[in-house]
Amino acid sequence: MRKQSKKASRGDYVPIPLHPEFPLSPLNYTRRTNVSPIAPHVHDCFEIGYCHEGTGIFVIENKIFSFRPGDAVIINHREIHIMKSSRSDEVTVWNFLNLDPAALLSGHIGLHEKCLETESLCGASFENLIRSETSPEIGHTILEIINEIKEEPDGYRSRVRALVWSLMVQLHRRGGAASVEGPVPQRRKISRISSAVEHILENYSTPIEMTTLAGLCHMSVSNFRKVFHAAMGCSPQEYIRNIRLKAAASLLQNTTKPVIEIALTTGYPTLSNFNRQFQKTHGTCPRNWRKNHMHP
């Protein structure tokens, strides 16, 4: 697993050194429990990942995604992110790679090709989490890149370049979302409240006080609420609810745990409150939602 400095504990910038001849990082093999050892951070290059085992939650900027095996992730160099598993008894297994697509393909693909740019592959409406059932070709391409890097067969660098070019074309056909300048000011805002985001992600199963979150960010409660809303586009209470409901949906979809146990695990002390909040968000009760979305 690629080591990251302790300084990366508060939404910090974590540069990844890439060799100029072949600007792609060593393969990062990550085993993660529901207590995340790596706090919110942002890199200086493009990142791709593939989930081999486990389920959990990825928070990327102000977006919350649940994941399961076969899913892939795309993270722009602008985006603060953090990940953890759904349950305390579960380990998630991922491979991650950092790269510079334009530099990697320089001299092989014309630099005028618009599919080389990564700036549009981020933003509020960009879906960073690539579902195995909706875009299997993207996940397959990422897995092929990982396997080439892992095994290093003859000609693997040429094969990796071909696969990265294919991946970039696939991603641009799928559609980008961001303006070039949009996410930068947001990153600065998010870094101010990243301690609170980390605390929420690690403690959403228990009551969370606004005074605790504000104190972690060295702000008054009123100022914290304003900064949080400016960064995430919702109130801290709404964000906590969104995290809890994403975690609950992941457990409903990927486990056979009783609904009442899932409610308690995700921070709802009563089944009635959980049912009400879930129905409001998903338009149906947890039991019916599970019937339609249960992963085989």
pLDDT less than 70: residues of the chain: 1-12, 33-37, 111, 176-188, 295-296
Task: Say whether both 58 and 100 belong to one domain.
Answer: yes
Domain with 52 in it:
6-174
How many helices and strands in the chain, by DSSP H and E? 10, 10
Task: Say whether both 142 and 246 belong to one domain.
Answer: no
Task: Say whether both 102 and 247 belong to one domain.
Answer: no
Angle, nearest 10°, between helix axes 236-254 and 271-282? Answer: 90
Task: Say whether both 39 and 142 belong to one domain.
Answer: yes
Domain membership of residue 50 (yes or no) is yes
Look at residues 118, 152, 174 and tell me which one is the last residue of a structural domain: 174
Indicate the residue type of 191: S
208, 277, 206, 207: which is closest to 245 by C-alpha? 277
Task: Say whether both 152 and 248 belong to one domain.
Answer: no
Q: Regarding beta strands 72-75 and 46-53, do their DSSP bridges make them parallel or antiparallel, or are they unpaired?
A: antiparallel
Task: Say whether both 115 and 44 belong to one domain.
Answer: yes
Task: Say whether both 53 and 163 belong to one domain.
Answer: yes
Number of domains in the chain: 2
Q: Regarding beta strands 129-130 and 72-75, do their DSSP bridges make them parallel or antiparallel, or are they unpaired?
A: antiparallel
Task: Say whether both 279 and 137 belong to one domain.
Answer: no
Beta bridge partners of 130: 72
For 199-213, the pLDDT digits (tens) are 998 889 899 999 999
Domain membership of residue 273 (yes or no) is yes
Backbone angles phi, psi at 81, to 5 degrees: -150, 160
Task: Say whether both 102 and 168 belong to one domain.
Answer: yes
Per-position DSSP letters for 12-54, written without gaps between them: EEE-----SSS-BPPPEEEEE-SS-SS-SEEESSEEEEEEEE-
Task: Say whether both 105 and 247 belong to one domain.
Answer: no
pTM comes to: 0.80
95, 108, 100, 110: which is closest to 142 by C-alpha? 95
CATH code of the domain covering residue 231? 1.10.10.60
Task: Say whether both 11 and 150 belong to one domain.
Answer: yes
CATH code of the domain covering residue 25? 2.60.120.280
Residue 37 confidence (pLDDT): 56
Domain membership of residue 270 (yes or no) is yes
Domain membership of residue 193 (yes or no) is no
Token pair 């089944």 in the structure block, residue:
271
For 52-80, the pLDDT digits (tens) are 999 888 988 878 898 999 999 999 987 88
Residues 6 or more apart from 155 whose CB is under 8 A from it? Answer: none
Task: Say whether both 37 and 119 belong to one domain.
Answer: yes
